[in-house]
Amino acid sequence: MEGVESPVGGARRTPRGGRGHHTLIVVREFRRVPLDASTLALVVFTARPGYAAPTVAALAEFTGQAVSFYQPAYVLLARSLEDPQTVVLLTGVQDCAALEAASTSAFSIERLLPELSPMLVAEPEFYVYCPDRALVDKDLEPVFARRVV
């Protein structure tokens, strides 16, 4: 995972561990065939020291249950090899509307936050890539946009 450009403030961000590169180790992956996803959502979790394993376990259980109900085109749950406290959840759907609908569906992580929050250093970071969404400045190419919980 390289640094992510955010339209908010225009600053290039690197992962919390300070490194610019993370090797991701897959914990769970679900992919529909054929893969039809144009919109991506990335959630970055940073576990407190000693809480990486329970954080991954809670997210793995949540992902398994949510996939059976929501059936997104793609889901990846992974942790960083270089910084095991960093856990990412990547979701791919066909369009922005499907991702926005997920906020009230079984795939919403908001129902999991009360369990996860005590295990995390800070609130999860949300990023969304949606090429269909009209941007305020039409000269900008679609970029990851930060969404605050």
Tens-place pLDDT, residues 107-134: 578 888 999 999 999 999 988 887 765 5
| HSE-up (13 A, CA, CB side) for residue 120 | 22
Which segments within the chain are labelled E, that is strand? 4-5, 12-13, 24-31, 39-46, 74-80, 86-93, 125-129, 145-147
pTM: predicted TM-score of the whole model, two decimal places: 0.70
* SS3 state of residue 63: helix
pLDDT at residue 135 tops 50: no
Q: 3-state DSSP helix/strand/coil percent for the chain, to nearest 5?
A: 25, 30, 45
The predicted structure's pLDDT at residue 33: 67
The yes-or-no verdict on residue 101 having pLDDT over 90 is no
Given a contact cutoff of 8 angstroms between Cβ atoms, the answer to whether 39 and 101 are in contact is: no
The domains found in the chain, sorted by start residue, are 26-85+99-138 (3.30.70.100)
- Per the prediction, the chain carries an average pLDDT of 73
pLDDT digits over 28-56, tens only? Answer: 998 876 677 778 888 999 999 999 999 99
